[in-house]
Amino acid sequence: MATIANITVKNRLGADVVYAASQGSAGDKNPAIWRQDAAGTNYASRPEFRVTVRSNASNTTRVTDGAFKFPVVDGVTGLITDVLRGTFSFTEVNRVAETTNEDAVTQFSNLFASALVRAICKTGTNAT
């Protein structure tokens, strides 16, 4: 079982951005929550990342869902004008070897972090 901790990522300029561990999960179907506390003066204006894990109805799989929100704050009024969102879902099958699940998770996360997939998300246009 993973223990909640701060997550540090790079922004578009290559600077470190810290998502502070705000709330650990209280168990299945309860999210763990991280917030970029330095980005805003209130919770609504801070980027947030949530991960929820649960079993399916027959307990044959574990489903991990992630949700990211990035509020766009007007520099003059301080009001939130938009929210950029990202989600992911990964289903781990209980009946396969742990190493198989580990390899699938590694490849999935590396594909999502690849330069090509990041470019697709940044531009909003698919690879042709």
The CATH topology of domain 7-95 is MS2 Viral Coat Protein (3.30.380)
Per-residue tokens: 86: 């990202």
CA atoms 72, 65, 108, 5: torsion sign: positive
CA angle 62, 67, 73 (to 5 degrees): 170
Running DSSP on this structure, what letter comes out for residue 38?
G
For the stretch 83-108, pLDDT in tens is 999 999 999 999 999 999 999 999 99
Q: Would you list the domain boundaries of the chain?
A: 7-95, 97-128
Residue 41: predicted pLDDT: 79
Q: Where are the alpha helices (DSSP H) in the chain?
A: 98-112, 115-123
Residue 48: predicted pLDDT: 97
* Owner of token pair 């919770």: 43
Alpha carbons 17 and 3: distance in angstroms, whole number: 20
pLDDT over 80 at 1, yes or no: no
For the stretch 30-86, pLDDT in tens is 999 999 999 977 889 999 999 999 999 999 999 999 999 999 999 899 899 999 999
Q: Residues near 54 by Cβ (< 8 Å), separated by ≥ 6?
A: 28, 29, 62, 63, 65
